[in-house]
Amino acid sequence: MIKLVFATANANKVTEIDNLLPDTVQLSSLKELGHKKDIPETSDTIEGNAKQKADFITENYKVNCFSDDTGLEINALNGEPGVYSARYASEIKDDEANIKLVLKKLEDNPKRGAQFKTAIALNIDGEQHVFFGVVKGTIRKQRIGNNGFGYDPIFEPENCGKTFAQMSLEEKNKYSHRARAFNKMIRFLNARK
């Protein structure tokens, strides 16, 4: 059994990822670890933030762990919000305000191509490994769907015909950037047996 701490305070992410992991991985959250404060995210890249969070938990708790960071990159906004996706509208994480700001900035712009990018930093047995997942799609002109979190109601993956927020968790995991990155990590962990 591989024991891993997921270095996130986002309960939605924990649920999403726990659904993907094989029985050979026992997942713990920061809450179960007893960590209640935000972990610093001061890097100017998604990969850098993932590494920083994983390193913080490994250094402070001496456990095997992984961390992810995800950004929505919109072509017409020169890659914004990118690394600032969670705090795009303000320093307080507010999904609704972030969505409103994206829709306002795009308004009637016909160019709505975008991608979600996830980087995962896995710290295990004194080594760090990084995995990436990307899903391309478009930004809808209005919110559609009630599932998911973050920008899910306005992001429609390529060749899907619906937003992440219209999908069940199982369906979202077939397409999502996070699932693609985590599946790479899972293949790596399975190869270590």
pLDDT of amino acid 41: 87
- Tell me the C-alpha distance between 63 and 167, whole Å: 34
Q: Which of 5-19, 137-151, 165-179 has the lowest mean pLDDT?
A: 5-19
Residue 193 has pLDDT above 70, yes or no: no
User: What mean pLDDT is reported for the chain?
Assistant: 92
Could you tell me the pTM of the whole model?
Answer: 0.88
pLDDT band for 14, please (50, 70, 90 cuts): confident
First CA to last CA across the chain, in angstroms? 10
Residues 52/62, Cβ–Cβ less than 8 Å? no
pLDDT tens, residue by residue, 154-179: 999 999 999 999 999 889 988 999 88
Residues 172/156, Cβ–Cβ less than 8 Å? no
Residue 154 is encoded by which pair of tokens?
């306005």
pLDDT of amino acid 108: 87
**Residues annotated as catalytic (active site), given as ranges:** 69
Task: Give the structural domain span for 141.
Answer: 2-191
pLDDT tens, residue by residue, 27-77: 898 988 888 888 888 999 999 999 999 999 999 999 999 999 999 999 999
pLDDT tens, residue by residue, 93-138: 899 999 999 999 999 899 999 999 999 999 999 999 999 999 999 9
Is it true that the peptide bond before 81 is cis, omega within 30 degrees of 0?
yes
CATH number at residue 163: 3.90.950.10
Sequence-ordered alpha helix ranges (H) in the chain:
11-18, 30-33, 46-61, 95-106, 169-175, 177-191
Domains of the chain: total: 1
Listed in sequence order, the residues at least 6 apart from 106 whose beta carbon sits closer than 8 Å to its beta carbon are 74, 76, 77, 112, 139, 141
